[in-house]
Amino acid sequence: MTEYMRLNVRATFECVNTQSPDFETLLDRFPSFDLVFIDSHHEESHCRRELAAVRDKAKMIALHDISNVNCPGIARVWEDLKSMESFHCYEFTDQYEGMGPYMGIGLAVAKGRLSSG
């Protein structure tokens, strides 16, 4: 991310514990986000809280562990996000042979929030 920020001076990268007061401060500082990557505490309630906090501010939201059998709550959050009419959703859930299912990435792109070009 540091290298990308050198290439694009408008870019910032923030890494914040969403369970801390710093998260609310961060949300207040920015009117919108191009991409929010949620790699939650692997608890459904945490993931839902994070999603609710950024859903209306993010052009794209990526969720990690959408197909992880050890994180069924994240899969439920992803299914709910996919059912929202305000997002186009894409997922990458290919697995290593003989393992899983684990991990998985879901990408929700807000309809009408990305400019063409």
Q: What is the mean pLDDT of residues 43-66?
A: 94
Q: Is the Cα torsion angle 97, 100, 101, 102 positive or negative in sign? A: negative
pLDDT digit string (tens) for 67-114? 988 889 999 999 999 999 999 999 998 877 777 678 899 999 999 876
Given a cut of 50, whether residue 117 has pLDDT beyond it is no
Domain map of the chain by residue range?
33-110
pLDDT at position 115 is 60
The listed CATH number (3.30.70, 3.40.50, 3.30.2450, 3.30.110) that belongs to domain 33-110: 3.30.110
Specify the pLDDT at position 109. Answer: 96
- The pLDDT > 90 percentage for the chain reads 58
What Cα–Cα distance (Å) separates residue 6 from each residue in 9, 35, 54, 60?
6, 18, 25, 22
